[in-house]
């Protein structure tokens, strides 16, 4: 390395350093402009009392009807044969009702409505590469058609296996999941499923109030309910809450801890990228090694 | 003194029976790809709402990135630590990385439901997403790799621009542009070289972060908060074995003598790297006490054991042996085992370990998925062959014994 080159090298290293510093100053604000993820005190929720549900599946019909999906005739939903297999929400419907055996009274099966839980610390929001998911003030976790690239990482991330994908569409495949009737509630309407339910299985309200309601129910009817509100603490809490008479695991609820699903990965991400310091430090370190080993070779060469 | 090495274009003819077989497999893959683009991902894959990711992510992307680690590990060794004697392997490794990452990007696009929106991460940011970071790093790194490759292009064409017909009038101008480019690259190349290594460290580890958010869906044998570190360490240890394997294969294929002295020196670094990886892998297992799962006979426990024994322990032992490192065959087998181990590790992490809560059927790749994956591998090999024939990539002993300087590190 001659003098000229060495000066160039130093100049360039300094330039890189300054650029990097500039980047690091600008980047955090941008990076924090991650998707909207508000945890409002007043967020809404739904309390699902599975001991009340009669399995009429009207919520399935109403959900499709309100979301422009093929709903068909509401009478067809009385068909009980459908309960022979357990179904999952998919591109044909954002919610399904499944049947489970009732150990206490075999003639009265337990029915369980399934849809997105609208997590308070949603894995899908944290995971989505383009921030197509967002958690709204109302508590709803919704998906933005205009951003999604169809990578399906949200599906990998969701602890409840909720987002579904249009595997048979070559163009504009969508991610499908319950949107908590975002457009309806925005205009003061009830979620379609809540509105149609004939037996008040579903109670729509402020999440904090719903937890009180659920606690009172458990206190007043200890024989009827297990002392567990599913969703109160699971994966950091969910907007949809469940009461049941049978262990939640036997109702196919996944066994989940209290820690929010995105916790570990987010702290790792933020650790690696803390104001871009680790990458820049690595850059500087490698630059230093490169410079030193060059000079070492150079002086060895001269010594020969 | 050892004979100086000089990169040359390979002169053998392109088509051999092997090449024809590879071409057919590649075409078969393209046919299935066409079906995917006309009728959607579901038409050719076994993917479902339960198993949203298959081998196109687990092998083509995750393993693809890991196995392209030869690029940044040799760059770190040759350029940053300035170990001149490894220069002969830098260009082949750079070419593999460039092709490898190109195919990683293509595979991502193929797997994306909305492949035409692949650029969205450039404008819609989500700093919390490990996938976002992987995507950005890979995008920038591919660009860096292309820039690192440019000097080889300029070297190939400077003084040899020879366009036919009317275009021949442009020859002089193009030559001037190339020379200017070469000078510019010469001064700035180190910026890109260091950036390449930094970017690699970042996304190699973030690939490990990817599956952490899957939480309990992932088998505890693999699900650990140190996954990013394990991914990085395994990428470090698979870099040189990839270079060794390719170098020996290329020598065979082009009828050259394998550069055993360089390769065994490379090999001597693999042992320690593998050792560190193994230490962390086992340490993690003991700290989290996941060895209890190894006492049951399940797909997971079997796959984990194969991965560790065949993919890490045995090659580690081999690379520590002087005899093995001195023989091309020994080096070759040991390297292939390491590569197999890392490939299996990525498959395990992304596919075998993944069990969704409402699983009705386990995932196994469809004929279409396998065809596309194999097709891509074949295309990569064919392109490699094309490049080494048309560009000075592979070094052969320089009979004249002079001009060692011409390809000394750009930017130094
Ligand atoms: S249940 Fe799944 S899709 Fe719904 S908010 Fe939670 S992580 Fe997102
Ligand atoms: S599939 Fe769409 S919504 Fe889901 S993570 Fe990918 S870009 Fe985001
Ligand atoms: S809240 Fe709306 S979208 Fe969700 S299940 Fe009920 S009707 Fe369907």
Q: Where are the domains of chain B?
A: 18-46+366-388, 47-356
Distance A95 CA to ligand 3 centre (A): 7
The values of phi and psi at residue A273, to 5°, are: -110, 15
A31 and chain B in contact, CB less than 8 A: yes
Give B330-335's long-range contacts (Cβ < 8 A, gap of 24+): B331/B244, B331/B248, B331/B260, B331/B263, B331/B264, B331/B267, B332/B244, B332/B245, B332/B248, B334/B241, B334/B267, B334/B270, B335/B240, B335/B241, B335/B242, B335/B244, B335/B245, B335/B248, B335/B267, B335/B270
DSSP three-state, residue B63: helix
Residue A205 has a pLDDT of 95
List the single range of A167-171, B16-20, B84-88, B93-97 with lowest mean pLDDT: B84-88
Model confidence at B330: pLDDT above 70: yes
The residue behind tokens 């060059």 is: A294
Q: How many CB atoms lie within 10 A of CB B105?
A: 18
Tell me the pLDDT band of A17, cut-offs 50, 70 and 90.
low
Q: Looking at the 3D structure of chain A, how many domains does it have?
A: 2
* Closest C-alpha among A60, A300, A158, A177 to residue B82: A300
Taking every pair of Cα atoms in chain A, the longest distance, rounded to a whole number of angstroms, is 96
- Domain match, A121 and A19 both: no
Q: Does ligand 3 come within 6 angstroms of the Cβ of A192?
A: yes
Q: Which residues are registered as beta bridge partners of A93?
A: A90
Can you read off the two tokens belonging to residue B290? 């996941």
**A42: closest CA among A207, A240, A181?**
A207
d(CA A206, CA A242): 15
Confidence band for B14, pLDDT divided at 50, 70 and 90 = confident
Beta bridge partners of B8: B394
Output the pLDDT for position A19: 53
- The complex's ipTM works out to 0.89
Mean predicted confidence (pLDDT) in B149-168: 85
In this predicted structure, the answer to whether residue B292 has a pLDDT above a threshold of 70 is: yes
Give every CB contact of residue A190 below 8 A, 6+ residues apart in sequence.
A181, A184, A204
Please name every residue paired with A134 in a beta bridge, in sequence order, or none if there are none.
A142
Q: Are B375 and B26 in contact (CB under 8 A)?
A: yes
The whole-number pLDDT of residue B243 equals 93
**Window B:58-87, CB contacts with A under 8 Å:** 76, 79-82, 84
Contacts of B386 (CB under 8 A, 6+ apart): B14
Of A285, A246, A6, A304, nearest to A103 by C-alpha is A246
Q: Is B74 exposed, middle or buried (0-12, 13-18, 19+ CB in 10 A)?
A: buried
Any atom of ligand 1 within 6 Å of the Cβ of A262: no
Rg (CA), chain A: 27
Co-location of A238 and A204 in the same domain: yes
Q: Span B47-356: which CATH code?
A: 1.20.1630.10
Mutation probe of ligand 1 site: the residue of A89, A134, A141, A261 with most atoms within 8 A of C-beta:
A141
Q: Please tell me the number of the ligand nearest to residue A155's CA.
A: 2
Residue A59 pLDDT exceeds 70: yes
- Model confidence at A24: pLDDT above 90: no
Rounded to the nearest angstrom, the gap between the alpha carbon of residue B139 and the centroid of all alpha carbons in its chain is: 15
Angle between helices B260-287 and B87-111 (to 10 degrees): 50
Which tens digit of pLDDT belongs to each residue from A194-225?
A: 999 999 999 999 999 999 999 999 999 999 99
The closest CB to that of A88, out of B49, B52, B135, belongs to B49
Residue A6 pLDDT greater than 80, yes or no = no
Within 177-236 of A, beta carbons closer than 8 Å to B belong to none
Tell me what percent of the residues of chain B surpass a pLDDT of 70. 95
Chain A contacts of B80, Cβ < 8 Å? 286, 289-290, 293
Strands (E), A85-143: 96-100, 110-114, 133-135, 141-143
pLDDT above 90 covers a percentage of chain B that reads 64
Report the alpha-carbon distance of residue A240 to residue A112 in Å, rounded: 13
B82, B132, B201: residue with CB nearest A129:
B132
pLDDT of residue A301: 53
- Check CB contact under 8 Å for B201 and A282: yes
| C-alpha to C-alpha distance for A35 and A73, rounded to whole angstroms | 38
Task: Give pLDDT tens digits for B175-231.
Answer: 889 999 988 888 888 889 889 999 999 999 999 999 999 999 999 999 999 999 999
Helix (H) or strand (E) holding A16: helix A3-32
Query: Residues A137, A18: one domain?
Result: no
Q: Which residues of A touch B356 (CB under 8 A)?
A: 161
Count of CB pairs separated by less than 8 Å, A with B: 206
Mean pLDDT calculated for residue range A254-258: 90
- Considering only residues 322 to 361 of chain B, which have any Cβ-Cβ distance to chain A shorter than 8 Å? 354, 356-358
Secondary structure element (H or E) that encloses residue B227, with its range: helix B227-253
Closest by CA position to B262, among listed B101, B142, B92, B88: B88
Residue A234 reports pLDDT greater than 80: yes
Task: Give pLDDT tens digits for B29-76.
Answer: 999 999 999 999 999 999 999 999 999 999 999 999 999 998 899 888
The token duo for B118 is 């692949």
Separation of A235 CA from ligand 1 center, angstroms? 10
Residue for token pair 């409002």: A40
Please give the mean pLDDT across all residues of chain B.
89
Residue with tokens 């580890």: B205
Cα-to-centroid distance, A57 and ligand 1 (Å): 22
Confidence label for A263 from pLDDT (cuts 50, 70 and 90): confident
Are A159 and B215 within 8 A, CB to CB?
Answer: yes
Query: Which residues sit opposite B354 in a β-bridge?
Result: B218
Residue B294 pLDDT greater than 60, yes or no: yes
State whether A243 and A303 are in the same domain: no
* Beta carbons of A245 and A110 less than 8 angstroms apart: yes
Across the interface, do B228 and A126 touch by the CB < 8 Å criterion?
no
In terms of average pLDDT, the best of A118-122, B192-196, B388-392 is A118-122
pLDDT at residue B321 above 70? Answer: yes
Looking at per-residue pLDDT, the higher value among A217 and B127 belongs to A217
Residues of B in contact with A273 (CB under 8 A): 127, 133
Distance CA B235, CA B274 (A): 10
pLDDT score of B171 more than 70: yes
Nearest Cα residue to atom 1 of ligand 3 = A180
Give the angle B70-B259-A304 at the CA atoms, nearest 5°.
95
Other residues' Cβ atoms within 10 Å of the Cβ of residue B212: 24
How far apart are alpha carbons A127 and B129 in whole angstroms? 5
Q: What is the spatial distance between Cα B114 and Cα B165, in angstroms, rounded to a whole number? A: 43
Average pLDDT over residues A135-161: 95
pLDDT classification of A157: cutoffs 50, 70, 90: very high
Angle between helices A263-272 and A277-303 (to 10 degrees): 40
A25-53 pLDDT per residue, tens = 444 444 445 778 888 889 999 999 999 99
The structure tokens listed for A224 are 């009827």
Show the CA angle centred on residue B223, arms to residues B219 and B226, nearest 5°: 165
Structural domain range at position A207:
35-272
CATH of the domain at A66: 3.30.70.20
Confidence of residue A176 (pLDDT cuts 50, 70, 90): very high
Residues A1, A111 within the same domain: no
**Helix, strand or coil for residue A206?**
strand
Q: Which is more confident, B3 or B78?
A: B78
Instruction: Say if B366 is an interface residue toward chain A (CB within 8 Å).
Output: no
Q: Are residues A177 and A115 in the same domain?
A: yes
pLDDT at A137 over 50: yes
Higher pLDDT, A297 or B143: B143
Average pLDDT across chain A, whole number: 86
Q: Look at residue B368 and tell me whether its pLDDT is greater than 90.
A: yes
User: Residues A297, A199: one domain?
Assistant: no
Confidence band (pLDDT; 50, 70, 90) for B260?
Answer: confident
Ligand 2 atom at shortest distance from the alpha carbon of A144: 3
A287 and A256 within one domain: no
| Tokens matching residue B330 | 């020994």
């Amino acid at each position: 390395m001659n003098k000229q080159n060495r000066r160039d090298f130093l100049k360039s290293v300094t330039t890189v350093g300054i650029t990097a510093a500039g980047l690091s100053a600008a980047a955090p604000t941008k990076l924090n402009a991650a998707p909207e993820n508000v945890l409002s005190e007043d967020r809404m929720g739904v309390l699902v009392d599975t001991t009340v549900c009669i399995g009429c599946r009207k919520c399935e019909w109403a959900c499709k009807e309100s979301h422009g999906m093929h709903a068909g005739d509401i009478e067809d939903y009385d068909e009980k044969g459908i309960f022979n297999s357990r179904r999952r929400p998919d591109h044909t419907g954002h919610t399904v009702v499944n049947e489970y055996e009732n150990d206490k009274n075999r003639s009265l099966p337990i029915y369980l409505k399934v849809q997105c839980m609208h997590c308070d610390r949603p894995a899908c929001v944290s995971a989505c590469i383009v921030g197509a998911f967002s958690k709204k003030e109302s508590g709803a976790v919704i998906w933005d058609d205009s951003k999604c690239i169809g990578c399906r990482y949200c599906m990998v991330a969701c602890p409840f296996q909720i987002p579904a994908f249009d595997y048979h569409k070559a163009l504009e495949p969508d991610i499908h999941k319950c949107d908590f009737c975002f457009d309806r509630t925005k205009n003061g309407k009830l979620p379609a499923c809540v509105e149609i339910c004939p037996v008040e299985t579903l109670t729509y309200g402020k999440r904090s109030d719903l937890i009180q309601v659920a606690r009172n129910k458990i206190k007043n009817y200890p024989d009827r309910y297990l002392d567990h509100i599913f969703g109160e603490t699971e994966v950091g809490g969910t907007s949809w809450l469940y009461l049941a008479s049978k262990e939640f695991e036997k109702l196919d609820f996944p066994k989940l801890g209290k820690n929010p699903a995105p916790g570990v990965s987010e702290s790792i991400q933020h650790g690696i990228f803390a104001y871009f310091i680790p990458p820049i430090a690595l850059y500087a370190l490698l630059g230093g090694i490169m410079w030193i080993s060059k000079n070492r070779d150079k002086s060895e060469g001269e010594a020969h | 003194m050892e004979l100086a090495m000089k990169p040359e274009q390979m002169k053998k003819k392109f088509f051999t029976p092997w090449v024809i077989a590879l071409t057919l497999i590649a075409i078969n893959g393209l046919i299935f790809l066409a079906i995917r683009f006309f009728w959607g991902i579901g038409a050719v894959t076994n993917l479902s709402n339960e198993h949203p990711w298959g081998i196109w992510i687990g092998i083509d992307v995750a393993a693809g990135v890991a196995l392209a680690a030869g690029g940044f590990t040799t760059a770190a060794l040759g350029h940053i630590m300035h170990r001149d004697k490894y220069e002969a392997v830098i260009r082949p490794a750079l070419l593999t990385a460039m092709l490898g990452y190109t195919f990683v990007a293509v595979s991502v696009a193929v797997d994306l439901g909305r492949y035409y929106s692949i650029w969205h991460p450039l404008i819609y940011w989500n700093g919390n997403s490990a996938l976002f970071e992987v995507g950005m790093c890979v995008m920038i790194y591919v660009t860096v790799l292309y820039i690192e490759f440019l000097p080889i292009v300029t070297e190939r064409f400077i003084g040899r621009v020879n366009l036919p017909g009317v275009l021949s009038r442009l020859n002089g101008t193009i030559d001037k542009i190339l020379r200017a480019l070469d000078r510019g690259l010469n001064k700035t190349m180190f910026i890109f070289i260091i950036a390449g290594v930094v970017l690699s460290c970042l996304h190699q580890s973030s690939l490990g972060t990817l599956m952490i958010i899957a939480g309990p869906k992932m088998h505890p044998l693999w699900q650990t908060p140190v996954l990013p570190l394990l991914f990085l360490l395994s990428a470090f240890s698979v870099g040189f074995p990839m270079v060794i394997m390719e170098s020996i294969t290329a020598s065979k294929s082009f009828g050259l003598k394998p550069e055993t002295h360089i390769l065994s020196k490379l090999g001597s670094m693999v042992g320690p790297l593998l050792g560190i990886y193994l230490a962390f892998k086992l340490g993690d297992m003991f700290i989290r006490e996941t060895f209890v799962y190894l006492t049951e006979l399940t797909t997971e426990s079997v796959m984990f054991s194969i991965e560790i024994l065949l993919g890490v322990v045995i090659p580690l032992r081999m690379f520590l042996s002087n005899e093995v490192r001195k023989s091309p065959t020994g080096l070759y087998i040991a390297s292939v085992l390491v590569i197999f181990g890392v490939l299996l590790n990525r498959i395990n992490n992304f596919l075998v370990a993944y069990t969704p809560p409402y699983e009705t059927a386990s995932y196994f790749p469809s004929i279409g998925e396998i065809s596309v994956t194999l097709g891509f591998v074949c295309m990569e090999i064919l392109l490699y062959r094309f490049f080494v024939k048309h560009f000075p990539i592979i070094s052969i002993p320089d009979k004249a014994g002079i001009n060692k300087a011409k390809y000394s590190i750009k930017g130094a």
